[in-house]
Amino acid sequence: MPAATPLVRPNIVLVLTDDLDVPTALEMPRLPDLMANQGLSFTRAYAAQPLCGSSRASILTGMYSHNHGVIDNEPPRYGFPAFRRHEPQSLGPWLKSVGYRTALVGKYLNGYAWGASDDYVPPGWDDWHGHLAAIEDGRYFNYWMNHNGEVVRYGSKPDEYSADLEAKWALEFIRSSAGRSEPLFVLLAPQAPHVPAKYSDRHGAEFRYSMAPRTPAFNEGFVQDKPSWVRQIGLLSERDIAGADNLQRYRLRSVRAVEDQIQQVLTALAETGRLENTYVFFTSDNGLLMGQHRAVAAKGNAYEEAIGIPLIVRGPGVPVGTTDAFALTIDLAPTLLELAGVPLPDSIDGRSLVPFLRGQPPTSWRRDVMIENYGSGFSYTLRTSDWMYNHQDTEEFELYDMRKDPYQLKNLYRTADPALIASLNQRLDSLVACRGASCRS
């Protein structure tokens, strides 16, 4: 009997931005040529919890927040300390276990490495260049990094801009693999466009006339049907609006360096003969309100601009185009594991997107997604093709007809058919209690 053909595992690059909402991603000038025109865009991709640390924990483990427990960013209870127990069962160790050379470059988790030594490197990573968020006093300049156990402080010189150095370290890892047979996994996690969204001088003249998105929800006039946290926000003044517009220009300039990172990574993959067998994912940990419903730079809420994220994939066999199939951050881990030929761990709540990447959408796919938020308690949101239903931890409720009211202006909860509310609550109850395989139905 002839010997079995060895599995040729693809290289995987995951570019994970920070607080990049879909409207801002759509303004990135080079992203179409680098990613969207080369692959598949998921137009209904959502953060399972639209908060940095919680979302990153979900991306690394494939679990909902109610299962991994990283429901907030801040140590000592949450952020990195809460995630440490999951590190052995996360993307780095999983992929390394089947022969991948693994690298993380950029942001890991909020609060890293609180409770550990500053030179702590999580298990499963061959090359580690992690921002020390626990002692971070700057994101783009004046920051600390852990380079494979060596702690280094960076200042404010132009050549110390974090995105440019992240690109340098990612390229060194890729090029050092030339001639080696092991597949690569690179998690490239720039800080952009998180506030203060500082940008490189080379992009300082761009987007001079850009503004925060002027959708019908921008500086919403009537908010009495909204939850109390929205009602407490006053109408934006001219000064507030000018500040939001200025911040948006900064954000757009900051993600220009991310486009540079992607271009350089693609070039290095091509130069080392790996590009044709590499899947590149581009996404964000969460979105951001930029003046919608009066809130500026706000995440951790149920509105579309905060929960929606860009998700674009290019690679061998990936069809070019778009899909409106629902996708969640918890789907990234099972997707990468299936591409790598790793059996799905029982702990994973998400579903693999690989059928879509192979141009063979499954005949049965989820018809809704649940989004969690945490304040004084959990808030739960159900997003279907027709509805957005939000059960706030303050026992306030929202219901929006997403086909007729995509900007979420008119809360229909008080006048809705009780049978509709009952069915939405029933579905939410099943997802709130799910774990592992029961979450994938």
Q: Over range 211-233, report the average pLDDT.
A: 98
Residue 29: pLDDT band by 50, 70, 90 thresholds? very high
Distance CA 146, CA 230 (A): 39
Residue 178's domain comprises: 11-361
Question: Is 377 part of a structural domain of the chain?
Answer: no
How many Cβ atoms sit within 10 Å of the Cβ of residue 3?
A: 5
Question: Is 130 part of a structural domain of the chain?
Answer: yes
Buried b (16+ CB within 10 A) or exposed e, 400-427: bebeeeebbbebbeeebeeeeeeebeeb
Give residue 3's pLDDT. Answer: 39
pLDDT per residue as tens digits for the range 329-373: 999 999 999 999 999 999 999 999 999 999 999 999 999 999 999
φ and ψ at 162, to 5 degrees? -60, -45
pLDDT per residue as tens digits for the range 142-185: 999 999 999 999 999 999 999 999 999 999 999 999 889 999 99
Give residue 135's pLDDT. Answer: 85
Inform me whether the pLDDT recorded for 376 exceeds 90. Answer: no
Question: Is 335 part of a structural domain of the chain?
Answer: yes
Give residue 7's pLDDT. Answer: 65
Question: Is 191 part of a structural domain of the chain?
Answer: yes
Q: Over range 375-403, report the average pLDDT.
A: 96
Q: Over range 423-430, report the average pLDDT.
A: 97
Question: Is 427 part of a structural domain of the chain?
Answer: no
Q: Over range 68-78, report the average pLDDT.
A: 96
Question: What is the domain count for the chain?
Answer: 1
Q: What residue spans of 272-351 are helical by DSSP H?
A: 304-307, 332-340
Give residue 206's pLDDT. Answer: 98
Task: Output the six-digit token pair for 45.
Answer: 């991709």
Distance CA 377, CA 279 (A): 38
Question: Is 368 part of a structural domain of the chain?
Answer: no
Residue 114: pLDDT band by 50, 70, 90 thresholds? very high
Inform me whether the pLDDT recorded for 45 exceeds 90. Answer: yes
Give residue 334's pLDDT. Answer: 98
Inform me whether the pLDDT recorded for 311 exceeds 70. Answer: yes
Question: Is 259 part of a structural domain of the chain?
Answer: yes
Question: Is 210 part of a structural domain of the chain?
Answer: yes
Place of tokens 């299936």: 338
Residue 134: pLDDT band by 50, 70, 90 thresholds? confident
Q: Over range 374-403, report the average pLDDT.
A: 96
Give residue 6's pLDDT. Answer: 46
Give residue 8's pLDDT. Answer: 85
What CATH number should be reported for the domain holding residue 46? 3.40.720.10
Cis geometry, peptide bond prior to residue 193 (ω within 30 degrees of 0): yes
3-state secondary structure of 229: helix
CA nearest 326: which of 383, 375, 273, 288?
Answer: 383
How many Cβ atoms sit within 10 Å of the Cβ of residue 353?
A: 28
